[in-house]
Amino acid sequence: MRRKINSILKSKGIKTESITYDRSGTTQDEWGIWTITLTKESRDGIRLKHEDQKFCGVIEIFDPEDGLENLAELPSIKEESCAN
């Protein structure tokens, strides 16, 4: 799961301060919570792209399938290189 999260975020130019998994699922069928804390630069970039000043830069994933889908919907904040 961590590799999938990193891959999605990297493809969008989004950087993290931390990715943690709390292992709170009590059975094999239950998942814990993934918490992704973005860097200030990435948080600000997403705020600008989404025009959402309330985005705090912390993403919590409770369901892996839905969480990965939501990450895939984040905007790309990669720097576009300018050709001279």
**Three-state helix/strand/coil letters over 15-72:** CEEEEEECCCCCCCCCCCCEEEEECHHHHHHHHHHHCCCCCCCEEEECCHHHHHHHHH
Per-residue pLDDT of the chain (84 residues; tens, 9 = 90+): 999 999 999 999 999 999 999 887 666 667 789 999 999 999 999 999 877 788 899 999 999 999 999 999 999 998 754 444
pLDDT at 83: 46
pLDDT at 27: 65
The answer to whether the CB of 56 falls within 8 A of the CB of 44 is: no
pLDDT at 51: 79
pLDDT at 80: 55
pLDDT at 4: 96
pLDDT at 26: 66
Residue in the block written with tokens 């705090």: 56
